[in-house]
Structure 1
Amino acid sequence: MKHTNLAAKAIAFVLLLGGLSVAHSAAPPVDVRPMMVISASSADVATLDPDRATNFGDLGVVSEVFNGLVRLAPGSADPDRIEPDLATSWDASADKTVWTFRLRKGVQFHGGYGEMKADDVVYSVRRAADPKRSSFAADFAVVDKVEALDDYTVRFTLKHPSASFLGLVANYHGGSVVSQAAAERLGKKFGQSPIGTGPFAFSQLVTQQYVKLVANDAYFRGGPKLSGIMYRMILSDSARELAVTTNEIDLMGAKREQRWVEKARSRGMNVEIMDPAEFRTIFINRTIKPLDNLKVRQALAAAINVDEIVRYAGKDVADKGCSVVPNGYLGADCGDGGYAYDPTRARQLLAEAGFPNGVTLHSVVSNVSAQQPIMEIIQAQLARAGIKLEMEVVDHATYQAKSRANQSALVFYGAARFPTAGNWLREFYDSAASIGAPGAMSNFGHCSVADGDIRAAEVEPDPKRQLALWKQAQQKIHNDVCAIPLFGLKQVWVQSDRVKLGYQLKGALSLQPPVTELTTVSRDKP
């Protein structure tokens, strides 16, 4: 009996080992694909909700998680290179007011939220057009209605033709398609747990440390060659540089300064300079006295030497502005040119305005390397004309908050938008977009002089007449000195030699080199 029990125990032990062996063999295989590590110059992520993401560090992450109906070709910021994304094809009515999109079949949302269908597109557009849920609602004012004709067909009816309509439904600024089920279920948590259809799915966010994305192997263009992407939050420029030289990170957001670019290249770094340039502008807040006086605004314009600023920024990374609309945008007009630098004339204008002893202004300035040094140059230039600029230097989030609370006389702001004059003028120079207005966007100067032309251009069906209206708007804004255009600052990234992007890099509206399903990183020792 004793031997029988021992035998039974031995048999049970063998069976147990066999069970463990079976369980072990059934474990999922380890993903041997490399993980790409990226670090932009961001301390944290504000939101990964595509209808709210506006910060530099957020846009790149969002671009990997979501798709639009159409997209700009990877590596391009050229609006003429729009191609199918979630839509396979589209057509427009003769008057360009009715657009019909046919959707891909079988596209799956991340996280088991099912197939993307026309109802999700309709929901996404209505969400992006809702000012309570979107930072880009004003862009969608042109849409009269959007409807699902069937599961795979969506029709837009516009209030009037729009030169930038396809840009509106591209994978950029409110054009992302979200899962209706996920957005409704997650509510305000959607920005920390985004659900899209892109090549990479959200996995984890650790505040001020990292965001982790994992490969979406069900991606409709094919599973990625990477296992995922790790976005590390490294605010220190020197720390990022060290990390890229030691192969701890593969793609690094770098200083957009000529001297840094030249030094980095001399050290053998693979520096990529790409479009779009973020257009730098000094907005003059006329709600703060004495900036309501035209002569004072004219004095400011005469006191700022843009050529000196561009020389500091550098020939490879900076492109001097010639209009309030960025260089290269459809409809940008340089007929009036920039403002002439003349500090003597600036002092004379101040005296004519009743300020023979000069004026003192208060400006909130971000401490980021792309802003503070430029504002220090401007501060010195203004001083030579009798204008004292008191700078309150704060972190970038505080600068954004205070600027949008009308606490800064001069607002230094840089941005890139879908490249048409209409988009830019509507956001930065229409009074409806003024800070504090119900439809507030980024009109920090409270400019209103060109409202009629900007709004008429929005509904003008004749392209030539539309261009003429945009030109008139720019002339009026120039003459009223609503702002002082400075320069376009291009994007600067350092790419490890181990990275193969899978396309030719010229630009990206997400301000980051796109990581696609074809991108890979070699982990072999050099």
Structure 2
Amino acid sequence: MKKKILSLVGMTLGLSLSLSACSTTTPATTAAGTKTTTTAGATVPVGEPKDGGTLTVALTASPKNLDPVTYTGTYESQIIQNVGDTLVAYSMDLSKIVPAIASSWTVSSDAKAYTFKLRQDVYFHPGTYQNGRQMKAEDVKYSLERSAQKSAMKRLDMITSVEVVNDFEIIVHLPEPSAVFLTALTNSGNIIVPKEEVEGWGDAFGNHLIGTGPFMMKDFKLDQATTLVRNEKYWAAKPHLDSVIFKVITDMNQNANALRTGEIDFASNLTGESVKLIRDDQSIKLLEMPGLHFAYIYFNMVKGPTADIKVREALIRALDTKELVKGVYQYGEAQPASLPLPPGSWGYDKTLEADVPTYDPAAAKELLAEAGFPNGFKTKLYISNTPARVRMATIVQQYWKMNLNIDVEIMTSEWGTFSEIASKNNADIFAMSWTWYPDPYFFLNKIFHSTAIGSLGNGQGFNDPEVDRLLNEALVITDQAARAKLYSQAVKAIIAKRPGVFYSNENVTWGVSPKVQDLVQRADGSIFLVNEEVNVWIAE
């Protein structure tokens, strides 16, 4: 049966579905041309940093809108976080929260008020409606409250108001203690923006993004490229790079070839044959590390056949996820998964893997018959147009047809259209991936809490009072061990509802020209080109 599936998919995709896995320790090349071994992390600086040059970065999907409160994908965030700054930030190794626009902060005894002192050397980029003025407390109040009220991803739903003490001090008020408030502030959806520009541009603000970050947006062309130029007045450091171009190249092999020919300097989110092409090329550096990530197939919980838990379990049992991962990630770009948390999260409980239904076609067929669909049914699987998702959908389509006689129509679209359909509960089944910070909140609350219904995370309508209770309790205590125990209970309850198939933990895989220096890879996949820890430069 497995051989039949792989054969069918191989013919459909024209690919060799190799079942071999690759080590994450791979050959790489430094700027000096010396062969090294890299398991993850960073390019190795060679020589003294120099100013000048343009860094061209390939994105595998097109950013739709760069307004911090409306963006939904990592493709947008890679640009936003290099144009704007947040109050606080994660250190590059994701081990701690560090100052950014806020130079320091204190917390009230009841943990419901955070007082932030702001830097006084932060300036907005010059725009159409203001001329590069100094950033002040009113701007922070406006930006954070705007995010709390309008964020498509509910990124600051834990705050009630922001109080201005003076030009460089604010107090953020929370209705109850929040163990994740500071972490939430680090998200690029919470960068500080000027009110004049937001109101002046209206719905078009995302196409003319203004922030305080190391680079200023010069040009945004939908589906093509975004050009950024150096901000000479950046508070953290003067950027070495003259400019950065984020170029949309959706085809992975084209990505790899563009890197090899010098058309681009940096390719992110690599999968498939492109990984092998770069791994085998002595002139290019391949950076790989386990990501804080899982890919999943999510079932509509409120309407259609998948509203029935027996149907959902049948679909899970009819799919061999280990073979699926071997077919989708032919060059070791991911590991099989089973839980809705990545192993890199401190809340991951390996013992819960045993609770996930295993591959059992016979049991799957029985469940489907009990649910009233002995002859299968027709459904639609919505995905974005990335190669890994297309490969996944094709394999899933074959498994469900063979084992359950379910006819799956694959609905492929660009990210903006896909995210709109998925977030509004308009998909029978949809598939995507999720990556964020090590704290389980950013996975579990954003995907399974009832307050997230209507956002991209909970577009399937997952709603369970017990899960809500556990997640709420975990949010208001600060002891990590106690929180981990609650999250373990929540994951157990989530799995019992059979909401989807959590099939892979993808690596963060980048291809980098050896002339790119001081680039640091993070487990969350975020690209930061300049901050107080890094300042990327080009070596000739």
TM-score by length of 1: 0.84
* 1:250 pairs with 2:250: no
* 1:283 pairs with 2:290: no
Q: Deviations over 1:123-173 (max 9, x none)?
A: 110010112xx213x332221322121111121222222221111211x24
Identify the residue that residue 41 of structure 1 maps to in structure 2.
60
- 1:441: how far off? 4.2
Structure 1: distance between partners of 2:114 and 2:227: 37
- 1:488: how far off? 1.8
* 1:240 pairs with 2:244: no
* 1:447 pairs with 2:462: yes
Q: Deviations over 1:200-244 (max 9, x none)?
A: 111112333321111011111221111111222333333332322
* 1:68 pairs with 2:68: no
Question: Against the structure 1 CA distance between its residues 289 and 208, is the aligned structure 2 distance closer, same or farther, given a 3 Å change threshold?
Answer: closer
Q: Aligned to 1:181, what secondary structure does the other structure show?
A: helix
Identify the residue that residue 433 of structure 2 maps to in structure 1.
414
Structure 1: distance between partners of 2:253 and 2:297: 29
Identify the residue that residue 294 of structure 1 maps to in structure 2.
309
Structure 2 gap segments, 5+ residues each:
1-49
Q: Aligned to 1:255, what secondary structure does the other structure show?
A: coil
Identify the residue that residue 30 of structure 2 maps to in structure 1.
none
Question: Against the structure 1 CA distance between its residues 405 and 103, is the aligned structure 2 distance closer, same or farther, given a 3 Å change threshold?
Answer: closer
Question: Against the structure 1 CA distance between its residues 284 and 256, is the aligned structure 2 distance closer, same or farther, given a 3 Å change threshold?
Answer: same
Among 93, 97, 111, the residue aligned to 2:112: 97
Letter in 1 for 2:81: S
- 1:37: how far off? 1.4
Between the two proteins, what is the percent identity of the paired residues?
A: 26
Identify the residue that residue 161 of structure 1 maps to in structure 2.
177
* 1:200 pairs with 2:215: yes
Structure 1: distance between partners of 2:325 and 2:397: 15
- 1:405: how far off? 4.1
Q: Is the 8 A contact 2:421 2:427 kept in 1?
A: yes
Q: Aligned to 1:142, what secondary structure does the other structure show?
A: coil
Structure 1: distance between partners of 2:448 and 2:380: 22
- 1:387: how far off? 4.0
* 1:370 pairs with 2:388: yes
Question: Against the structure 1 CA distance between its residues 196 and 275, is the aligned structure 2 distance closer, same or farther, given a 3 Å change threshold?
Answer: farther
Identify the residue that residue 230 of structure 1 maps to in structure 2.
245
Structure 2: distance between partners of 1:255 and 1:509: 11
- 1:464: how far off? 4.7
- 1:122: how far off? 0.9
Count of residues paired in the alignment:
478
Q: Aligned to 1:156, what secondary structure does the other structure show?
A: strand
Q: Is the 8 A contact 2:81 2:528 kept in 1?
A: no
Larger CA deviation: 412-421 vs 358-367: 358-367
* 1:118 pairs with 2:137: yes
Among 189, 194, 217, the residue aligned to 1:174: 189
Question: Against the structure 1 CA distance between its residues 341 and 130, is the aligned structure 2 distance closer, same or farther, given a 3 Å change threshold?
Answer: same
Q: Is the 8 A contact 1:365 1:391 kept in 2?
A: no
Identify the residue that residue 276 of structure 2 maps to in structure 1.
262
Q: Is the 8 A contact 1:360 1:390 kept in 2?
A: yes
* 1:471 pairs with 2:504: no
Structure 2: distance between partners of 1:293 and 1:248: 50
Question: Against the structure 1 CA distance between its residues 319 and 162, is the aligned structure 2 distance closer, same or farther, given a 3 Å change threshold?
Answer: farther
Letter in 2 for 1:348: E
- 1:62: how far off? 0.8
Q: Is the 8 A contact 1:169 1:175 kept in 2?
A: yes
Letter in 2 for 1:496: S
Q: Is the 8 A contact 2:66 2:80 kept in 1?
A: yes
Among 376, 383, 388, the residue aligned to 1:358: 376
Q: Aligned to 1:58, what secondary structure does the other structure show?
A: helix
Structure 2: distance between partners of 1:471 and 1:92: 28
Q: Is the 8 A contact 1:101 1:154 kept in 2?
A: yes
Q: Aligned to 1:110, what secondary structure does the other structure show?
A: coil
- 1:283: how far off? 1.1
Question: Against the structure 1 CA distance between its residues 319 and 102, is the aligned structure 2 distance closer, same or farther, given a 3 Å change threshold?
Answer: farther
Within 5 Å, which residues of 2 pair with 1:428-507? 428-435=447-454, 440-449=455-464, 450-460=467-477, 463-500=480-517, 502=518, 504-507=520-523
Question: Against the structure 1 CA distance between its residues 219 and 275, is the aligned structure 2 distance closer, same or farther, given a 3 Å change threshold?
Answer: farther
* 1:85 pairs with 2:100: yes
- 1:33: how far off? 1.7
Structure 2: distance between partners of 1:83 and 1:35: 28
Larger CA deviation: 259-268 vs 302-311: 259-268
Letter in 2 for 1:266: D
- 1:509: how far off? 5.0
Q: Deviations over 1:429-462 (max 9, x none)?
A: 1233224xxxx44223322122332234334466
* 1:395 pairs with 2:413: yes
Letter in 1 for 2:137: A
Question: Against the structure 1 CA distance between its residues 320 and 173, is the aligned structure 2 distance closer, same or farther, given a 3 Å change threshold?
Answer: farther
Structure 1: distance between partners of 2:481 and 2:389: 37
Identify the residue that residue 402 of structure 2 maps to in structure 1.
384
Q: Is the 8 A contact 1:201 1:213 kept in 2?
A: yes
Q: Aligned to 2:68, what secondary structure does the other structure show?
A: coil
Larger RCO: 1 or 2 (CA < 8 Å, sep 6+): 2
Among 230, 242, 255, the residue aligned to 1:215: 230
Structure 1: distance between partners of 2:132 and 2:260: 40
- 1:465: how far off? 4.5
Structure 2: distance between partners of 1:505 and 1:236: 22
Q: Is the 8 A contact 2:125 2:211 kept in 1?
A: yes
TM-score by length of 2: 0.82
- 1:280: how far off? 0.8
Q: Is the 8 A contact 1:256 1:491 kept in 2?
A: no
Structure 1 gap segments, 5+ residues each:
1-30
Q: Aligned to 1:96, what secondary structure does the other structure show?
A: coil
Identify the residue that residue 288 of structure 2 maps to in structure 1.
273
Q: Is the 8 A contact 2:320 2:359 kept in 1?
A: yes
Q: Aligned to 1:159, what secondary structure does the other structure show?
A: coil
Question: Against the structure 1 CA distance between its residues 488 and 515, is the aligned structure 2 distance closer, same or farther, given a 3 Å change threshold?
Answer: farther
Identify the residue that residue 128 of structure 1 maps to in structure 2.
147
Identify the residue that residue 426 of structure 1 maps to in structure 2.
445
Q: Aligned to 2:427, what secondary structure does the other structure show?
A: coil
Identify the residue that residue 50 of structure 1 maps to in structure 2.
68
Larger CA deviation: 313-322 vs 185-194: 313-322
Structure 2: distance between partners of 1:32 and 1:175: 29
Question: Against the structure 1 CA distance between its residues 87 and 401, is the aligned structure 2 distance closer, same or farther, given a 3 Å change threshold?
Answer: closer
Q: Is the 8 A contact 2:319 2:399 kept in 1?
A: yes
Structure 2: distance between partners of 1:218 and 1:387: 62
- 1:508: how far off? 4.5
Identify the residue that residue 39 of structure 2 maps to in structure 1.
none
